[in-house]
Structure 1
Amino acid sequence: MEHPLHIHNTLTRKKEQFIPLHAPHVGLYVCGPTVYGDAHLGHARPAITFDILFRYLRHLGYKVRYVRNITDVGHLEHDADSGEDKIAKKARLEQLEPMEVVQYYLNRYHKAMDALNVLPPSIEPHASGHIIEQIELVKTILKNGFAYESEGSVYFDVEKYNKQHNYGVLSGRNVEDMLNTTRELDGQEEKRNPVDFALWKKAQPEHIMRWPSPWGAGFPGWHCECTAMGKKYLGEHFDIHGGGMDLVFPHHECEIAQAIASQGDDMVHYWMHNNMITVNGQKMGKSLGNFITLDEFFDGSHKMLHQAYSAMTIRFFILQAHYRSTVDFSNEALQASEKGLSRLMDAYANLQKITPSETSTVEAEGIRTKCYEALNDDLNTPIAISHLFDAARIINTVKDGKGTITAADLKELKEIFDLFLFDLLGVRNEATAAGNSYEVFGKAMDLLLTIRQQAKQNKDWATSDKIRNELTEIGFEIKDTKDGAEWKLGK
């Protein structure tokens, strides 16, 4: 590419030219969901953000191994090291096996991701399936002197690590301040310092999910899984690690410490983080009780929603903001996204209705280059979308008889929509997805409108009005034009 991809590296806090460590192969690791409840809008954002990255890297010619983990053990209710395991709690309350809970919500997560047209990862490992790898990681960190055993649990020694390295390199936190302000906290008798984090936790008698280890029956700390599985599937050094901004501290900070403590250097070259979905300025999430599940968006059943929104409207809404900026939920914003997406889809449909001319009076050149420049600039999807709206205006100008376009320019605009809107931004073209049935459906509608047009020509107003009114009643939008009539499915 003339303009190489640049991405913002959270570690250096700079936008850097992306140079993969193992070109043409790229290792991409993204923190996936903890599957103890239905996916909500906050889950959709990282999934869509890194779906765009996955799609674009493959388009640029890289062979990408995309690993997205499933947290099904070790994520505790109160914080990373205390409280009940979230999945175990759900299993106890519903009188199910923990893996029943995992499988149920994982199936629903996959269904939601498919609706959003999020591509599946190359590998989707479960934390519970990699206990051996996590135990080996803990043993190595212990051997290297950066961890200690305490009452059947193993903790990472943050103070000792920080004397040789920098705990806080990703988040920018000052560990000395953290140590000074947390030393007097109670309830941390097992730890040398309250900032130390669990690598392995001793299982209490009531704890459902437990495994044997050199330190007794227990389970891995939440932070271990990504380090262990990243190392297993992508090696000791890989290109990109991604996730939500809320994972920068402590999860990803702890991952860096674990990697350096176990192998001497960080595993990851580029750290990427998407920002939050907010509601009235507050993060949308389960802990605050202000989340809306994706199924509630799709059927409009939540009290905060004025209507149902399609999966593609949700995807388009998320892509209209840069991945590193916050997105504040509102019905007005979603309705604007719905209308914007409809304008682009209508313009694409109008491409098929335009008869090319010998010359172009519109300027179609340069849009492809501008779209590439936007995506190369840290995946700037809102700017790429703005250029697609420019293309839509050109199409509508010609469709309305206010300009002409050559067959070559018409072909270029179609290719731009196919590549950027459908392939790279991942908006599903419902007409194409429906295949032959949609084509037959469209021909039937065209036939009805032809009959209506003939009725109008014969001044049979009753038949003409009946066709229009009944089509409108069942959800179609009919627009009369100087050449006849056009139709589309209503909202």
Structure 2
Amino acid sequence: MRTHRFGESHLGHARPFITFDVLYRYLLHLGYRVRYVRNITDAGHFEEEGRDAEDKIAKGALLEKLEPMELVQKYTNLFHWAMEQFNNLQPSIEPTATGHIVEQIEMIKKIIDDGFAYEANGSVYFDVKKYSEQHHYGILSGRVIEDQLETTRELDNQDEKRNKVDFALWKKAPPEHLMRWPSPWGDGFPGWHIECSAMSGKYLGKQFDIHGGGMDLQFPHHECEIAQSTVAHGDMMARYWVHNNMITINGKKMGKSYGNVIRLTDLFAGTHPLLEKAYSPMTIRFFILQTHYRSTLDFSNEALQAAEKGLARLWSAFETLQKLEYAGNGSPINDELDKQVREFCDDCAAAMSDDISTARVLANLFELAPIVNSLRGGQIKMHELSESTFALLKTTWQTFLVDILGMRSEETADTGKLDGVLQLLIDIRKEAKGRKDYATSDKIRNQLQAIGIQLKDEKDGTVSYAID
């Protein structure tokens, strides 16, 4: 998976981070040994489809009065902080493009030696038309070269290329370009696509199982990766390509021109003009996982607030279930209910194996939540479930909500205060009942129930739990 590091991560970046964390978790759950490589492309980045040789890191460093690598480190630290907030697992390897310049140069030399790249004025370009005579360029996106020639914009340095569709493997560094390295073709820096191919080839081999990324990278980035890797290594590179779809904001594509690019720091703090409030990392994670990763996901305050409530319902049910212990009394089980619970639990695994359908997993948990709360409240008796089904129920919530979907508690500093207030109300109600002041006792119970907190009197005292 590729990680851009020339700016602070925003809401659109959150989706692939979370999507591929869940895939990583699920593969580990299935018992696979997984090498998860998440590379950081920190070698400057010119816009191949924009101004010639623009060094974004150098430009940002000048604006912030930092050394280029100091800026890289700043945003890398912010990226790692965001990953921790989302409860993402650390990758097995996290290589950087600047740490693998030698590998990139060697890969470019191999492509030139094989006749599929050429040097022009200190830059090196991949010959797409020659490649297409022997291979399928556009295998992922379905694009053909003729269509690409018609839609290619007139850009700087196009006259260096044999064909407009050729892409840069190495670019000559102009005098003002701060990030530069020596090469057989002169001082320069790597192209956009070669970095990922060189790093994945080193750590995953000539061919590996899964390559992930956003759908916006399918063309040209992933098509170019396939082409250069096929020449250099003799293989298509990855056996499976997994692309997550985009996030829109109130139905619009995210973009600076729309003023709707929401940085993660703004999202967590609620400081962007489009936000009605702050949203926690777990709310964002839950929101993203409620929709299949290949579907477009539209962000809105209403959708985020619905996700916040949905997460609260499921997490409350999970905590409730953790406190329950099986206590069958030998009475006959409710076969229909027992079967229903097992089906919902079993379908969680089936959903994950069906193209990582996290939305279906969450739908199953929402079906199970009222059953869990009814077990706690006594509306469903424990003996109505078999002991094995109850064990499966507990295991399912832990496995899928926590271990695979990666949700965790978001207790804040105010949690203890709120618990204290709730306990005070329980004590006041107990004193009122002791005085036979049932009006006050019932008022406390009813008003708590109205906001989703159920009180239940048991022999050991009064307990509270959330209700749907």
Q: What interval of TM-score do these two structures reach, taking the shorter chain for normalisation? A: 0.7 to 0.9
Say whether 1:267 aligns with 2:267.
Answer: no
Say whether 1:50 aligns with 2:10.
Answer: no
Shift of 1:178: 2.1
Say whether 1:389 aligns with 2:369.
Answer: no
Q: Does the 8 Å contact 2:245/2:295 carry over to 1?
A: yes
Equivalenced residue count is: 449
For the aligned residue pairs, the C-alpha RMSD in angstroms reads 3.1
Give the Cα–Cα distance (whole angstroms) in 1 for the partners of residues 245 and 153 of structure 2.
31
SS at match of 2:382: coil
CA distance change for structure 1 residues 336 and 181 in 2, over 3 Å: closer, same or farther?
A: closer
Give the Cα–Cα distance (whole angstroms) in 2 for the partners of residues 223 and 443 of structure 1.
53
Shift of 1:199: 0.4
Say whether 1:416 aligns with 2:396.
Answer: yes
Shift of 1:79: 2.6
1:183-222 equivalences under 5 Å are: 187-222=157-192
Partner of 2:464: 486
CA distance change for structure 1 residues 279 and 139 in 2, over 3 Å: closer, same or farther?
A: same
SS at match of 2:170: strand
1:361-400 equivalences under 5 Å are: 361=334, 362-363=337-338, 364-400=341-377
Give the Cα–Cα distance (whole angstroms) in 1 for the partners of residues 153 and 118 of structure 2.
18
Give the Cα–Cα distance (whole angstroms) in 1 for the partners of residues 216 and 290 of structure 2.
21
Q: Does the 8 Å contact 2:52/2:156 carry over to 1?
A: no
Amino acid across the alignment from 2:132: N
Shift of 1:212: 0.3
Shift of 1:188: 1.1
Give the Cα–Cα distance (whole angstroms) in 1 for the partners of residues 396 and 318 of structure 2.
10
Shift of 1:182: 4.3
Give the Cα–Cα distance (whole angstroms) in 2 for the partners of residues 282 and 156 of structure 1.
35
Range that drifts further, 346-355 or 362-371 = 346-355
Partner of 1:173: 143
SS at match of 2:363: helix
Shift of 1:269: 0.7
Amino acid across the alignment from 2:355: D
Say whether 1:68 aligns with 2:68.
Answer: no
Amino acid across the alignment from 1:148: Y
Partner of 2:433: 457
Partner of 1:428: 408
Say whether 1:135 aligns with 2:105.
Answer: yes
Normalization by structure 1: what TM-score?
A: 0.84
SS at match of 2:40: coil
Partner of 2:222: 252
Amino acid across the alignment from 1:367: F
Q: Does the 8 Å contact 2:125/2:167 carry over to 1?
A: yes
SS at match of 2:400: helix
Q: Does the 8 Å contact 2:49/2:155 carry over to 1?
A: no
SS at match of 2:158: coil
Shift of 1:184: 7.3
CA distance change for structure 1 residues 168 and 355 in 2, over 3 Å: closer, same or farther?
A: closer
Q: What 5-or-longer segments of structure 1 have no aligned partner?
A: 1-29
CA distance change for structure 1 residues 92 and 442 in 2, over 3 Å: closer, same or farther?
A: closer
SS at match of 1:65: coil
Partner of 2:380: 403
CA distance change for structure 1 residues 186 and 314 in 2, over 3 Å: closer, same or farther?
A: closer
Range that drifts further, 163-172 or 222-231 = 163-172
Partner of 1:31: 2
Give the Cα–Cα distance (whole angstroms) in 2 for the partners of residues 94 and 442 of structure 1.
42
SS at match of 1:393: helix
Amino acid across the alignment from 1:356: A
Q: Does the 8 Å contact 1:354/1:399 carry over to 2?
A: no
Shift of 1:80: 7.1
Identity percentage over the alignment? 55
Q: Does the 8 Å contact 1:284/1:290 carry over to 2?
A: yes
Amino acid across the alignment from 1:454: K
1:285-364 equivalences under 5 Å are: 285-286=255-256, 289-351=259-321, 352=323, 356-358=327-329, 359=331, 360-361=333-334, 362-363=337-338, 364=341
Partner of 1:160: 130
Amino acid across the alignment from 2:2: C
CA distance change for structure 1 residues 185 and 200 in 2, over 3 Å: closer, same or farther?
A: closer
Give the Cα–Cα distance (whole angstroms) in 2 for the partners of residues 395 and 283 of structure 1.
40
Amino acid across the alignment from 1:297: L
Shift of 1:50: 0.5
Q: Does the 8 Å contact 1:153/1:198 carry over to 2?
A: yes
- 1:43-95 CA-to-partner distances (Å, cap 9, x unmatched) read 11001111011001111111000000111114224637824121111012222
1:229-248 equivalences under 5 Å are: 229-248=199-218
Give the Cα–Cα distance (whole angstroms) in 1 for the partners of residues 150 and 285 of structure 2.
44
Give the Cα–Cα distance (whole angstroms) in 2 for the partners of residues 172 and 35 of structure 1.
29
CA distance change for structure 1 residues 245 and 480 in 2, over 3 Å: closer, same or farther?
A: same
SS at match of 1:63: coil
SS at match of 1:296: helix
Normalization by structure 2: what TM-score?
A: 0.88
CA distance change for structure 1 residues 185 and 445 in 2, over 3 Å: closer, same or farther?
A: closer
